[in-house]
Amino acid sequence: MIRYLVIICITFFSINALAQEKPHTETTTYYIIRHAEKDRSDPSEKDAHLTQEGHQRAQDWSIILQRTPFDAVYSTEFNRTKETAQPTADNNRLEIITYSVNTGYDEAFKEATKGKTVLIVGHSNTIPDFVNAVIGHEKYNDIEDSNNGNLYIVTIINGIASDQLLTIN
């Protein structure tokens, strides 16, 4: 009799514990910015560095994002994007991972960043396309050349994307 009572109690507590288990949710969050102000003194320079103002903006981004624990920081291969990403990468003790604007948000990128919080630094004509690919529809146009203050935040929870755009100047 006691053996049956023990089995019933174990079964009851096991069922109760399973009923209280929450469904698994997977969240991926992308913080996506354009590089800071680049040096335009030589129009033929294809791989310009940041200006003093651009370096200050890169530092400002690292302060704005300091409470966000990033798992990865991605940048295109250009000096201006890497220089923009570096202060935030340093704050999170991360190496910058280079991505190609040609492949952008492909299956490999999705898999590598799944379930993570990621900073992505790109360009005025690539960031909107990247964000549109993540959210699954055309919402954002190219960024004005004078605008270096857009912050796109895209959160994907169990495959459902939500997005917001903040302008910080």
Q: Considering all CA atoms of the chain, what is the largest pairwise distance in Å, rounded to the nearest integer? A: 90
SS (HEC) of 95-157: CEEECCCCCCCCHHHHHHHCCCEEEEEECCCCHHHHHHHHHCCCCCCCCCCCCCCEEEEEEEE
Classify residue 131: in a domain, yes or no: yes
Classify residue 123: in a domain, yes or no: yes
Classify residue 93: in a domain, yes or no: yes
Confidence of residue 99 (pLDDT cuts 50, 70, 90): very high
Model pLDDT for residues 144-163, shown as the tens digit of each residue:
999 999 999 999 999 999 99
Model pLDDT for residues 47-79, shown as the tens digit of each residue:
999 999 999 999 999 999 999 999 999 999 999
Classify residue 11: in a domain, yes or no: no
Mean pLDDT on 119-131: 97
Query: Could you tell me what percent of the chain has a pLDDT over 90?
Result: 82
- 29-39 burial, b if ≥16 CB within 10 A, otherwise e? bbbbbbbbbbe
The pLDDT assigned to 169 comes to 87
Q: Is the pLDDT of residue 1 over 80?
A: no
Classify residue 103: in a domain, yes or no: yes
Number of structural domains the chain divides into: 1
CATH number reported for the structural domain that contains residue 113 in this entry = 3.40.50.1240
Give the range of the structural domain holding residue 29, as residue numbers without chain letter.
Answer: 25-38+45-167
Classify residue 19: in a domain, yes or no: no
pTM exceeds 0.75: yes
